[in-house]
C-alpha cells in the first residue's frame, strides 16, 4: 500500500516513552559501573579520593531509578491505552494472539515474504518483553540482595530473606552478572528488529519512541 494511504495514529503514550528511555540510560549506566565494581580499578590519585565509592553510588542510584521506572511501567500497563496494557504481553493466551504469533514467526523464518502489520508491539516481541521483565526482576532482586548485605538484619535484608535461601553469595553474583549478558543479547536483537520493522512496514517504528505516533494502513476508530 502506498504511503499516501497510511494513517497517523498515537500509539505510545508519554509514560511508556519515558520509561523506555529511562530504562535505556539506566541499563547503560548499570552495565558500565557494574563491570568496574566486578573488576575494580583505581581511578583516584589516593586512597582518600573515594573514586570506587562514587562508582558504587552511581550504580546504586541507577538501580533505584531503574526499579522505579519498571514499577511505573507495570502501573501504566493497568491504566494506559490498549497498546501499553498488560494483555498485550500475553498473546499466547488467546487464539487470535497465537495466530498472529505464528504469522510473525513464519515471516522471521523467511517462510512468508509479507510482514504482518502490527499497530503496537508484534506478539513475538511482547513475549520476549515478558521474558525480559523476568530477567529484570532477577537483576533487581539479586542486586538489592547483594546491596542489603551491608546491613544484616535490616529491613531490606529481612525482606529479601528468600533470596538468601535460594542463592549462595557467589551464586547470586553469578546470576546477576550472567543476566546482564542475556540483556545485552536482547538489546542487540531489539535494535535490529526495530530497524527491520521500520524498513519493512514504513510505520516509523523507531521515531515513534520519540513522538508516540506510528503510521498504519488502518484508520483509527472514532
Is the distance from CB of 213 to CB of 11 less than 8 angstroms? yes
pLDDT digits (tens, 9 = 90+) for 130-188: 999 999 999 999 999 999 998 888 899 999 999 999 999 999 999 999 999 999 999 99
65 in any annotated domain = yes
CATH code assigned at 197 = 1.20.950.20
Check whether 24 has a pLDDT greater than 90. Answer: yes
User: Does 4 score more than 60 pLDDT?
Assistant: no
Does residue 77 sit within a domain? yes
- Band (1; pLDDT cuts 50, 70, 90): very low
Instruction: Identify which has the larger pLDDT, 33 or 93.
Output: 33
In angstroms, the Cα distances linking 15 to 23, 53, 73, 151, 158 are 12, 32, 7, 34, 32
Q: 194 in a domain, yes or no? A: yes
Structural domain contains residue 170: yes
Whether 48 is in a domain gets the answer: no
Whether 24 is covered by a domain: the verdict is yes
Residue 222 domain flag: no
Which residues form the domain of 119? 3-41+54-216
Per-residue model confidence as pLDDT tens digits over 194-208: 888 788 766 678 888
The residue ranking higher by pLDDT, 222 or 130, is: 130
94-120 pLDDT, tens digit each: 888 888 888 888 888 888 887 777 788
Asked if residue 139 belongs to a domain, the reply is yes
pTM: 0.86
DSSP assignments along 66-120, one per residue: HHHHHHHHHHHHHHS-TTTSGGGG-GGGSHHHHHHHHHHHHHHTTS-SSPPP-SS
State the total domains in the chain: 1
Amino acid at each position: 500500500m502506498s504511503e499516501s494511504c497510511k494513517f497517523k495514529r498515537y500509539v505510545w503514550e508519554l509514560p511508556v516513552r519515558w520509561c523506555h528511555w529511562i530504562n535505556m540510560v539506566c541499563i547503560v549506566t548499570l552495565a558500565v559501573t557494574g563491570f568496574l565494581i566486578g573488576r575494580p580499578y583505581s581511578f583516584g590519585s589516593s586512597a582518600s579520593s573515594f573514586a570506587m565509592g562514587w562508582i558504587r553510588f552511581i550504580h546504586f542510584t541507577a538501580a533505584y531509578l531503574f526499579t522505579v521506572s519498571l514499577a511505573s511501567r507495570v502501573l501504566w500497563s493497568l491504566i494506559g491505552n490498549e497498546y501499553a496494557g498488560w494483555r498485550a504481553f500475553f498473546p499466547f493466551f488467546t487464539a487470535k494472539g497465537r495466530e498472529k504469533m505464528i504469522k510473525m514467526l513464519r515471516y522471521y523464518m523467511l517462510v512468508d515474504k509479507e510482514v504482518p502489520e502490527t499497530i503496537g508491539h508484534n506478539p513475538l516481541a511482547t513475549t520476549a518483553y515478558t521474558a525480559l521483565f523476568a530477567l529484570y526482576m532477577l537483576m533487581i532482586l539479586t542486586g538489592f540482595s547483594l546491596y542489603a548485605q551491608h546491613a544484616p538484619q535490616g529491613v531490606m535484608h529481612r525482606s529479601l530473606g528468600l533470596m538468601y535461601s535460594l542463592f549462595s553469595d557467589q551464586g547470586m553474583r553469578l546470576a546477576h552478572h550472567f543476566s546482564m549478558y542475556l540483556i545485552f543479547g536482547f538489546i542487540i536483537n531489539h535494535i535490529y528488529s526495530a530497524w527491520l520493522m521500520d524498513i519493512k512496514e514504513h510505520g516509523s517504528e523507531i521515531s515513534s519512541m520519540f513522538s508516540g505516533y506510528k503510521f498504519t494502513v488502518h484508520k483509527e476508530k472514532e
